[in-house]
Amino acid sequence: MIKHQLSTFGMICVSLLFFAAISPALMAAEKYTIGEEVEVHFLGGWIPATVRDFNKKGEVLGEFEFANNIKQQVFAPDQVRHLYEAGAITRSRTWSDATGKFNVKAALLKISGGKVQLRTSESKEVLIPIDKLSSKDQAFIKQFQAKAGLVAIPVPQLPSVIEFTSAGAKSIPGSGRRWDAREDAATGKVSLNLEADPIRKGLELKQAGVGFPSQGHHERLSSLIPLGGPDNWVLASIGENEREPTRLMWVALNKQSIKRIQMLPAGEMLMDYQAHSRQMLTYSKRKISEEAKDLQPVLTIWQAEPASEEPKAIVSWNARVPDDTSWHNSVPWVRFATGSLVVQRTETHRILAWDTQARSLSWQTTQESFFAPEPRLSAGNKYLFLPEEGGLRILDSATGTVAGQVPMDGCAGVAVHDGGHQIGAISRDRIYVIDITGSQPTRTVAANSVSSPFGIKCHWVGDELLAFESAGSDMVLYSLDLELPIWTFKFDHNAYMGTTGNGARKRSIINDHLIYAASFSVSGNTGLAVGAVSLPGAKATAAIGSAKRDDFMIIKAGTKFRVDVAAIDHASEIRQALLKEISANGWIHDQTAANVIKADYGRGEPREIRYELQSIRTGSTEIQSASITPFVAKVQILVGKDEAWSTLSSSGPPPIVSMREGESLQSEIDRSNRPVWSFYQSLDIPAEIIDPKKRGGVGHTAVTNKGLVDG
């Protein structure tokens, strides 16, 4: 046991696991025949080959295809195996029963549930209870398990992929709405009347960390899911490739140990875990039949818990509905809503709710957003929050019924409070703090320095702080009280980034604890560590308590500006709108000033868009494409060469198109692609603007493999 004390993360305990290795000198020379099809170990993997010659030492001259050429090479005995040995955890040997009457030459495939699974030289697989084997074989198994480490851990079988029926699925219509500037006050007046939906009892975390050794240089953590409970459980998965099994690590943070290691078939990615039903959800790309040419997205439900030797697959199903024609290859967002309902967002932004007991699609809708920010479930999974271009749509996750809507100028993301009563809905320049029970009025918070018109991930820390994940490796803590970014958490080179584009869950904030992973090296041994640290930390807490808003502002009343306008038309009207805004904010117009309000109005880059068109007359559907060159209106405030503030508006394609027979999709898109120069006339620039150098707050904390380290 190697132990390494960490200053904040807690104690990392590393138990080294060794693979069984058979020395070529100890192996008996295996018999092959000329022309036999075998596998050889070449460039780190096993590939098909043909035996062209061999000698008494067991060395084999193998012929195989490499880089579109036929290649021959001599392989040592441990680099060659019979086809029936492929995927086995030991080489073939002679096995016998206690009576000595039964004996067979076979390779060991699996040890599970007091039984061994063997594959004979005739490629027949047999399952034999260990206590029925000879004492010699039982001693071999016991010795093998003691030395083999991960190799001896059984890999469960995947079930055949089935098709869930989509007939009868409820189709939930979208709002089809786009933002209207006349609704600007509507968001602040929104009132919902929903039940609070807090996190489940037991999902409370404590600060601690546990490490485990890496089994290879390229090994990567793929998912990290906090489960809580008395032992402070975290479920981690390692690997997501098609060559090696995915490793599950049941980490008990309070016990400073890994309580169980389990395996999943290669390519399975951990997506979610439902503590109540003890079910696990994985995603992979698989052929759904022997005849299929293309890989399809497949979801699998497993029964899994740390007390079990291995997960048990319950069902695998094709997670693409027949009429969904995808053109991307990204991993979907998918979560448990209940123990029998799985909610998925597909590559084409469709929301599908699968009933895993009825083996059917329960309901579906479409997320009406080009950038498609990540959906979020409420803390107790009762509600599904869909950020869309026209605002935030709230659905009952079990039925798909619309539970509420929040009109917004493009919802870029939503933060869900663990208490279950409060959300933070983020637009391009504001945060709307909404009590979903309706007991408190909606609170509008300016957030130009952290919000975005694109997708953004955000988490609550306490009741007055939001943690915004940046596109890089930083996380900015935003004070709702001061309406300012107050602190930055910088993830160092050892810490795993939270967003990878592959659908995995590598960091999260639950119960005011940051759950994340990092790599480390101790006395030449490399490994991975997972843990939870309490936020925001002592130094950040002190900074928040002493911060004053005025100290952050670089632009305030009395600041001088000049106006620069570059426009394809309406330049005079745009200039007058900016001068009006300067006056309204108490600033001073001076064309010799160093500070600039710059307006750029023109056309953006052309892009292709796709629509799924359905004929009301025939009921047929087809995918059609059109092109759009949007109008783009942008405003920048420059202090010297630094951009202190900016905003933009763009025309875009409608989420839903209605066409009469004879009309073309392109003509309808052209008709909806209207100029947006009037955007400048409704412009609302904040009177005070933060110093660009203080966008990350007044200090930072490094997130490392030793926990939080204040800068």
* pLDDT attached to residue 497: 63
**Is the bond leading into 653 cis (omega within 30 degrees of zero)?**
no
Which residue type, as a one-letter code, is found at position 230? P
The answer to whether the beta carbons of residues 271 and 334 sit under 8 Å apart is yes
Q: Please report where in the chains the tokens 């061994």 appear, as a residue.
A: 116
pLDDT at 11: 36
Q: What is the pLDDT of residue 294?
A: 81
Per-residue pLDDT of 541-584, as tens digits, reads 998 889 898 888 899 999 999 999 999 999 999 999 999 999 99
Average model confidence (pLDDT) for the chain? 86
pLDDT at 441: 92
pLDDT < 70 stretches in the chain:
1-29, 148, 176-185, 215-219, 240-243, 325-330, 453, 471-472, 497-504, 616-619
Tokens 């632009």 -> residue: 555
- HEC string of 483-514 equals CEEEEEEEECCCECCCCCCCCCCCCEEECCEE
pLDDT in tens, 514-543: 999 998 887 777 888 999 999 999 999 998
Structural tokens at position 337: 């809503």
The alpha-carbon radius of gyration of the chain (Å, integer) is 30
Given this model, what pLDDT does residue 641 score? 84
CA-to-CA distance for 609 and 3, rounded, in angstroms? 56
3-state SS, one letter per residue, for 606-637 = CEEEEEEEECCCCCCEEEEEEEECCEEEEEEE
Q: What is the pLDDT of residue 241?
A: 66
Full DSSP string of 540-562: HHHHHHH--GGGGEEE-TT-EEE
Distance CA 710, CA 537 (A): 8
Question: How far apart are the C-alpha atoms of 494 and 703, rounded to whole Å?
Answer: 9
What is the DSSP track for 409-463? S---EEEE-TTSSEEEEE-SSEEEEEETTSSS--EEEE-TTT--SS--EEEEETT
Tokens matching residue 180: 């209207």
Domains of the chain: 24-152 (2.30.30.700), 170-549 (2.130.10.10), 557-686 (no CATH)
Nearest to 480 by CA among 440, 439, 444, 435: 444
The Cβ of residue 419 has, within 10 Å, a number of other Cβ atoms equal to 13
Q: Is 145 helix (H, G, I), strand (E, B) or coil?
A: helix
- What single letter denotes the amino acid at residue 50? T
| CA distance readout (Å), 198 to 205, 340, 591 | 15, 20, 55
Side-chain-facing half-sphere of 542: CA atoms under 13 Å: 6
